[in-house]
Chains A and B, each alone.
Chain A
Amino acid sequence: MIADMSIVLVGVSHKTAAVEIRERLAFVETHIHDALHQLVDRELISEGLIVSTCNRVEVIVATPKQNEAEAAISQVYDFLHRYHSCDSHLLRKHCYHHSDSSAIKHVFRVTSSLDSMVVGEPQITGQVKEAFQRAQEADSVGHSLTRLMNRAFVVAKRVRNETGIGSSAVSISFVAVELAKKVFETLKGTTVMLIGAGEMAELAARHLLNYGASRILIVNRTYENAKHLADEMKGEPVHFEEFEKRMPEAEIVICSTGAPHYLVNHDQVRGALDTRRNRPMMFIDISVPRNIDPAISNLDNAFVFDVDDLESIAEANRSEREREALRAEAIIETEVEHFTAALAEGDLNAVIGAFRREVSSMTFAELDRSRKRLGSLSEDQEEALRVMLNAIVNKFTQPVIKQLRESDDGHSPYLEAWREMYHHKDKE
């Protein structure tokens, strides 16, 4: 239960709605400031944050009143309805909403990539961070959401560090990167040679470049095609007749052509390895029928993988990820508990502090009023009076504080009453 405010969330994701619905609810980045202002201008909404990606839209808000979560949720639905001119029945049908600890949990899960289409994919954390930044720029987030989001980023980091959720590749092209890293450690400084123009091979090559490969040689039977792709990928086109001569330059050779026979054979690779003074080479064959002679694998320092090898790793990683996701869920559970407890605790301390200050200032005000009649006091006497009054304040407040702490289950009407009396007063 969150002290003076509630956190509420309304969202739509790939799990609840098809892309036709999601794209209608998506927020355009250039208009996000405007949308955020419209959101927080609404009644019951004091802070707001919008995460909009191709897989999801999440509207997270803080409402300053307690027990108004339902009303705040309606406000958010109404906001979506008006902003996107979208039928409200349709909204209610495809969106989900959460409040308080369930909202906190959802935010943690989304940020930690547990709710993603590919569980563990790392982009979502960055996207949420960006959304939070936009909201900060638009000045639509305050203390509550800042605290929530900062915790969410810590949780995401914990999940990443303490589970293997993001550590394995689940698509063929990422598997190629993973394998290359197990041979070369880092892709920095490596050269990739791409033979043919299969889509999957091209994707794998792009991933290798993204992960640090520094150069790409593109070979195609039709030089024009090679040149075209090379322009696009900032690579170097190579004539088909020259590929054997250039092969020793490459650490990684990816092959995907329609040729019905082996293009890269044992002797060529032996020659290439000699030229390279045995620095290792990796071959990825994505063509069917295969274009790279599997016997190359018998050579020291040469490693050959075909499409089946890549697929089997991807498959194994997918089930591994599901197991790790369970561990991540456990982390999220405890984090949600801690966060809600910390919020309630913070609130209780504020009430107690306010109560003590109130009683103490009343008491010392009385002392000031009686000063005239007391006449002038020595320093010792002054000190003795202070000690005495403080003791009275403590004696009086202690049982009350004890009672407050004991009855703090978050819903105590007792605590509510004290909050009404002192916490609000303190703020004024």
Chain B
Amino acid sequence: MLLSSRILICARKSMTILLMIALLLYMVGAFYSIIILATKSKHAGRGLIALVGAGFIAHTAAIGIDWSRLGHFPIVNPKEVSSFIAWAIVAYYLVMSLRYHVRALPTIILPLVFVFTLISLLLPDPAQSLPLMLEGAITANVVTQIIFPAHVTLVIFSYAAFIVTFVCGVMYLIQEHELKAKHFGAAFQRLPALNTCDEIGYRSLSIGFVLLTLGVVTGIVWNNQRDGRYWHNDPKEVMALVTWMIYLFIMHYRLTAGWRGRRVALLSIVGFVVVLLTWLGARALGGYHVFG
């Protein structure tokens, strides 16, 4: 007993250290990407990708250790969710950077990643590793063991994709304003082309939409597994449905009426505001879906 508790403390410590390493690397990466953008240096972001990649590995290890230490998938409280969303954004960014090289993107995204990781480090450990209402629910049977992590992972990855869509939407609007107002300042030179903002934004939106759809479906299945009810009319469930419908709306008009550019950028921003409300606001409204 003594030995195993010692191992647990040790694991807890190494997890914190790994997360701190990741935080440090993300911070250096964020500064580096700002410098790249500010000096208009043409140095490709290979160094940046290496930095962030190293941070990602440390971060992955931290999450892995947490998982085995706690014995359940570690995204059940705000501390863990903050860390996981940062991790998901980095994962998404790294995959995306295989195809797109947009300098402005890491400059906006990495500080965000840094903040999420920092929040996770600063938040105190919850008294219980598993919230009361999840007690037993996750480990009840094989289906719930799989379906709960799947639900949360899918939803959080869809949020990561929507963050990118949101950032692209904002970049689009700023760049469009520069072009229309004929104000060719710092933003004009540093932000990507309109078509690039539109393309990355829309791709991310499609990916996010698919992930969110699967996330909602797994959520419903899990609900049913737990208490036999598919839907609780919980604020978070309702908001998630609204989010889903907004993105469905954008996709629909993109495909049928060729909506793009400014209109899609604006709608993406609206969609993301609702995502934030779903994620953070539903907590304030209470309801049963409060964890995370």
Query: Would you give the shortest CB distance from B32 to chain A, in whole angstroms?
Result: 15
B16 close to A (CB within 8 Å) = no
In the bound complex, residues from chain A placing their C-beta under 8 Å from that of B46 are none
| Interface-lining segment among A272-280, A349-357, A397-405 | A272-280
Known contacts A182-B188, A297-B180; decide if A278 and B260 are in contact (CB<8 Å).
Answer: yes
A301 close to B (CB within 8 Å) = yes
A185 to B258, CA, bound (A): 19
In the bound complex, residues from chain A placing their C-beta under 8 Å from that of B188 are 182
A280 to B193, CA, bound (A): 12
In the bound complex, residues from chain A placing their C-beta under 8 Å from that of B189 are 167-168
In the bound complex, residues from chain B placing their C-beta under 8 Å from that of A87 are none
A295 to B82, CA, bound (A): 47
Q: Which residue of A lies closest to B260 (CB)?
A: A278
Known contacts A179-B179, A297-B180, A316-B184; decide if A278 and B258 are in contact (CB<8 Å).
Answer: yes
Q: Which residue of A lies closest to B194 (CB)?
A: A183
Known contacts A161-B43, A316-B184; decide if A183 and B260 are in contact (CB<8 Å).
Answer: no
> Could you give, for residues 155-176 of chain A, a 1 whenever the CB lies within 8 Å of some chain B CB and a 0 otherwise?
0000011101001100000000
**Interface residues in A119-142 (C-beta closer than 8 Å to B):** none
Known contacts A161-B43, A164-B40, A300-B261; decide if A183 and B192 are in contact (CB<8 Å).
Answer: no
Are B195's CB and A309's CB within 8 A? no
Are A301's CB and B260's CB within 8 A? yes
Give the number of chain A interface residues (Cβ < 8 Å): 25
Are A184's CB and B193's CB within 8 A? yes
B103 close to A (CB within 8 Å) = no
B41 close to A (CB within 8 Å) = yes
> Could you give, for residues 189-215 of chain B, a 1 whenever the CB lies within 8 Å of some chain A CB and a 0 otherwise?
100111110000000000000000000
Query: Would you give the shortest CB distance from B40 to chain A, in whole angstroms?
Result: 4
Are A182's CB and B194's CB within 8 A? yes
Are A280's CB and B41's CB within 8 A? no
**Residue from A179, A182, A185, A279 within 8 A of B260 (CB atoms):** A279
A278 to B255, CA, bound (A): 12
> Could you give, for residues 173-203 of chain A, a 1 whenever the CB lies within 8 Å of some chain B CB and a 0 otherwise?
0000001011111000000000000000000
A1 close to B (CB within 8 Å) = no
Query: Would you give the shortest CB distance from A195 to chain B, in whole angstroms?
Result: 21
A297 to B196, CA, bound (A): 20
> Could you give, for residues 60-72 of chain B, a 1 whenever the CB lies within 8 Å of some chain A CB and a 0 otherwise?
0000000000000
A301 to B176, CA, bound (A): 9
B6 close to A (CB within 8 Å) = no
B12 close to A (CB within 8 Å) = no
Known contacts A164-B40, A179-B179; decide if A301 and B262 are in contact (CB<8 Å).
Answer: yes
Are A303's CB and B179's CB within 8 A? yes
B99 close to A (CB within 8 Å) = no
In the bound complex, residues from chain A placing their C-beta under 8 Å from that of B184 are 312-313, 316
A204 to B43, CA, bound (A): 29
In the bound complex, residues from chain B placing their C-beta under 8 Å from that of A167 are 40, 42, 189
**Residue from B40, B42, B259 within 8 A of A278 (CB atoms):** B259
Are A278's CB and B261's CB within 8 A? yes
Q: Which residue of B lies closest to A306 (CB)?
A: B182
Give the number of chain B interface residues (Cβ < 8 Å): 24
Are B263's CB and A300's CB within 8 A? yes
B175 close to A (CB within 8 Å) = yes
Are B182's CB and A309's CB within 8 A? yes
A167 to B180, CA, bound (A): 22
**Interface residues in A285-328 (C-beta closer than 8 Å to B):** 297, 300-301, 303, 305, 309, 312-313, 316
Q: Which residue of B lies closest to A162 (CB)?
A: B41
In the bound complex, residues from chain B placing their C-beta under 8 Å from that of A277 are 257-258, 260
In the bound complex, residues from chain B placing their C-beta under 8 Å from that of A168 are 189
A179 to B194, CA, bound (A): 11
A167 to B103, CA, bound (A): 15
Are B182's CB and A305's CB within 8 A? yes
Are B41's CB and A182's CB within 8 A? no
In the bound complex, residues from chain A placing their C-beta under 8 Å from that of B192 are 185
Are A184's CB and B195's CB within 8 A? yes
Are B179's CB and A183's CB within 8 A? yes
**Residue from B41, B179, B182, B261 within 8 A of A161 (CB atoms):** B41
A161 to B46, CA, bound (A): 14
> Could you give, for residues 158-201 of chain B, a 1 whenever the CB lies within 8 Å of some chain A CB and a 0 otherwise?
00000000000000000100011010100011001111100000
In the bound complex, residues from chain A placing their C-beta under 8 Å from that of B40 are 164, 167
A303 to B195, CA, bound (A): 13
Known contacts A184-B195, A278-B261; decide if A303 and B180 are in contact (CB<8 Å).
Answer: yes
Query: Would you give the shortest CB distance from B121 to chain A, in whole angstroms?
Result: 35
A283 to B240, CA, bound (A): 42
Are B262's CB and A300's CB within 8 A? yes
Are B193's CB and A160's CB within 8 A? no
Are B261's CB and A301's CB within 8 A? yes
Q: Which residue of A lies closest to B191 (CB)?
A: A182
In the bound complex, residues from chain B placing their C-beta under 8 Å from that of A160 are 42
A312 to B192, CA, bound (A): 21
Are A182's CB and B261's CB within 8 A? no
Are B41's CB and A183's CB within 8 A? no
Query: Would you give the shortest CB distance from A295 to chain B, in whole angstroms?
Result: 12
**Residue from A161, A182, A316 within 8 A of B193 (CB atoms):** A182
A277 to B175, CA, bound (A): 21
> Could you give, for residues 228-260 of chain B, a 1 whenever the CB lies within 8 Å of some chain A CB and a 0 otherwise?
000000000000000000000000000001111
Are B195's CB and A183's CB within 8 A? yes
Q: Which residue of B lies closest to A324 (CB)?
A: B40
**Interface residues in B248-292 (C-beta closer than 8 Å to A):** 257-263
Query: Would you give the shortest CB distance from B212 to chain A, in whole angstroms?
Result: 25
In the bound complex, residues from chain A placing their C-beta under 8 Å from that of B179 are 179, 182-183, 303
Binding site for B on A (CB under 8 A): 160-162, 164, 167-168, 179, 181-185, 277-280, 297, 300-301, 303, 305, 309, 312-313, 316
**What would 18 more interface pairs be, CB under 8 Å, given A164-B40, A278-B260?**
A161-B41, A162-B39, A162-B41, A164-B39, A167-B40, A167-B189, A179-B179, A182-B175, A182-B179, A182-B188, A182-B193, A184-B195, A185-B192, A185-B196, A277-B260, A278-B258, A300-B261, A300-B262
Q: Can you list 14 contacts pairing A with B, beta carbon distance less than 8 Å?
A: A161-B42, A162-B42, A162-B43, A164-B39, A167-B42, A167-B189, A181-B193, A278-B259, A279-B258, A280-B194, A300-B262, A301-B261, A301-B262, A312-B182
